[in-house]
A and B are shown apart, each in its own frame.
Chain A
């Protein structure tokens, strides 16, 4: 079962996408919009880039489901910690 030259995902395409998204982020960061919209937009762009890296560069798209679950398992814990401690301020 010799692995013949199998298809690679379009890495250059992903590269360009990441570069463009970074440029967009830079542009958006200095716009005079309200603080919250800026933060939400920037975090959204960052998560999009992170997703691209995870899916295509780290091949999560082509891995069995069990590994994908294992890969994203710790994220809810991060969300629990930060949201719980932030409610500290709403008192």
Chain B
């Protein structure tokens, strides 16, 4: 827009030119890292409540594997790790400017991410069928709230990833400007990181 000319266009992947040195990274990446700070605090409140409640009444939690289906979620965790790898491969190919590899890696990430959500929905259906529901007690309340909101974040991530993939197919991401891929990658890895912690403290402890 009209005012953009004050922001020089030479390299958008570096901090804004003609400005005091700030964080050393371009605006969108800094914005995403700051946003992830707030996400950390959001999961702090949910996981913190879980840790506090479980510390208070450990007897209300079943030993690992008794109620929750660990094998299926272990595969699911591996799926999410793979989607992190495909995401980072997509970013690497975006850096190299290899459009075809970028598109295929992005597609792979979208598919694996969506299948993670699918497996989680299946796991929920299985649990609810078995009578393990949020109103069952502390165990059900904390489990469904934490994994539910993590699933919600993964779903939002998959939707954004689809949008980025659609733009990739339009060739919007070149070697000099692939901010979208890097920023959605940061969000995706964060969601994967949260799941890695969640998987351990919910399923394995």
- Would A22 and B64 count as touching, CB distance under 8 A? no
Task: Judge whether B147 is part of the interface by a CB distance below 8 angstroms.
Answer: no
Find residues 35-89 in chain B having any chain A CB closer than 8 Å to their own CB.
Answer: 36-38, 40-41, 44-45, 48, 51-52, 55-56, 64-65, 70, 74, 77-78, 81-82, 84-85, 87-89
Residues of B with C-beta under 8 A to A26: 70, 74, 204
- B36, B48, B176, B196: most-surrounded residue (chain A CB, <10 A): B196
Number of interchain pairs (Cβ within 8 Å) = 130
Min CB distance B98 to A, Å, is 9
Min CB distance A24 to B, Å, is 11
Residues of A with C-beta under 8 A to B78: 19, 22
Contact residue range for chain B?
35 or more
Residues of B within 8 A of A (CB): 11, 23-25, 29-30, 33-34, 36-38, 40-41, 44-45, 48, 51-52, 55-56, 64-65, 70, 74, 77-78, 81-82, 84-85, 87-89, 92, 95-96, 175-176, 185-186, 189-190, 192-193, 196-197, 199-201, 203-205
